[in-house]
Amino acid sequence: MNIENLLKYQAKDEELYKVEQKLFNSQYRKKANELTAIAKKSQTRSAELEAEAGKLITEIEDIKEKYNLNKSKTDSMLSSKIEDMTFEDIEKVNSLKGKILSNLNILEKMLQKSAENINYILAEFNKTKKTFDDARVQYAMCKQKIDEETKALQPEKERLEKELKALEKDVDSTLLAEYKKKRNDNIFPVIVPLEGGAFCGRCRMEQPKVAISRIKEKGVITCEHCKRFIYQK
């Protein structure tokens, strides 16, 4: 099979590939990808902080409930008149008073700790939000630059695509379909020469003798390693 036309097609396609690579390797695209990663990380962190805050609020509710319990015990204790109390009652009240004081002390410390935690979470949350907002602003700037770059290269891209289309009719249709499939899988160059009589011209993998013996008749063989077409010069 004559593969000259496919080689000609690929030579033109290489020009298009270079344009695509230029866009793909744009510093703004790289930066945009970095910013997307930062934004995602910020969102994850925000969700974590929200969960932590939720846990803390439950804890604070729990502390409040305990506080109210102790408070109502104190109230009922204070409402009984000392002259109505037996000696035993007074003993009980004294021991209860000690317990309540110690409880209130613990609860106060817990509340203080919770307040510190809430403040920390709030500060972290604001920091995270700022990181996210900054990333969003920078991303919009990058996106604009990417659009400008894409637009600037568009006429050249369209010209090459038109020229490629014109070359298509000279290439074997089955071969062309397979070529395009590989190209879509980001394989480029798609067709490479056999080197040293046995090796893939791209990945240097030695090809099976049976395959090589059929290369002239078939026009191309496929490298088992890098999936490129191999032809014999």
Interface ranges with Zn ion (CB under 5 A): 200, 202-203, 205, 223, 225-226
In the sheet with 191-195, reading across from the earlier edge strand, the strands are 199-200, 191-195, 229-231, 221-222
Secondary structure of residue 206 in the 3-state scheme: strand
CA–CA distance, 227 with 209 (Å, rounded to integer):
17
> Rounded to whole angstroms, how far apart are CA atoms 25 and 14?
16
Buried b vs exposed e over 43-53: b needs ≥16 C-beta within 10 Å? eebbeebeebb
The β-bridge partners of 192 are 230
Find where tokens 């000690």 sit. 98
Instruction: Please report, for residues 6, 28, 30, 99, 223, the alpha-carbon distance to residue 10 in angstroms, rounded to integers and kept in the order given.
Output: 6, 28, 28, 88, 17
Residue 107 to residue 64: CA distance in whole angstroms: 8
